Amino acid sequence: MPNNYIYVVLVKALTGLGKFARLTGKYEYTHIAICLDEKLDKFYTFSRKKHYSPFDCGYMIETLDCYAFGKHKKVKLKVFKIPVSPKNKEEIEKYIENISNDSKYIFNFFSMFTMSIFHGFKIYKSHNCMSFASKVIELTDTVKMSKPYYKYNIKELDELLIDYLYNEDYYEKKKIETKGYMNYVGIIRNIQYFIKLNIQLIYRMIVKRNGKYD
């Protein structure tokens, strides 16, 4: 019997992009992360590294103050608790550790922004929050997935995990743990980040088509 768990967390993101996605998609949750224990204080994901810099992005360990930022004191989360074997839990932890130690991983925003058209695609050593969480879910061997992990959007993952629902509530930040997250980033720097990310993704789509994806 499995005696370990991972936690898949859907986030009602309070960013401008999150609000826009809710308006256009008619769905409440716009971000997804993984927690490895019940404390729900470290959220492993792919996301922006600073609030004001959406294209300076990649692997992140987020904290509640990344979600309940500024004047916001609480954020709504939907949490799923998935049982895993000790062997699979160790494999998941190793997978996350390997990504955290590999600076080549970048944010696959091409797949994210075209999800409704192309339904997800892989690029060498890149993830967005959906593909990263889906890959971890696949590694549990608990949840039966009917299509490749990178083709699931957040709403589909919500439906896929319904039997593992653990809690849905507002969570309050206790303190500021991610220092510098709210530091302002100017428009010139943001343009530079945008150009750099596009160049990296296009290069990998052309040159690294047969490389390791996940």
Within-domain flag for 22:
yes
Of 105, 96, 118, nearest to 208 by C-alpha is 105
Rounded Cα–Cα distance for residues 214 and 83 (Å): 22
Give how many domains the chain has, as a whole number.
Answer: 1
- 161-182 confidence digits (pLDDT tens): 999 999 999 999 999 999 999 9
Integer Cα distance of 90 and 6 in angstroms: 11
- Is 214 a domain residue? no
The rounded distance, in Å, linking the Cα atoms of 118 and 59 is 23
- Tell me the three state secondary structure of residue 97: helix
* pLDDT bracket for residue 75 (50, 70, 90): very high
Distance (Å, whole) CA 157 – CA 130: 9
The pLDDT value recorded for residue 127 is 98
| Cα–Cα distance measured from residue 204 to residue 107, given in angstroms and rounded to the nearest whole number | 12
Q: What is the pLDDT of residues 9-61, one digit of tens each?
A: 999 998 888 777 777 778 999 999 999 999 999 999 999 999 999 999 999 99
List pLDDT tens digits, range 77-113: 999 999 999 999 999 999 999 999 999 999 999 999 9
Instruction: Locate 94 and state its tokens.
Output: 């190793």
Note down the domain range covering 34. Answer: 4-207
Q: Which two tokens stand for residue 48?
A: 């922006």
Query: What mean pLDDT do residues 117-132 have?
Result: 97
**pTM reported for the whole predicted model:** 0.94
CATH number at residue 174: 3.90.1720
**102 in any annotated domain:** yes
pLDDT computed for residue 2 by the predictor: 47
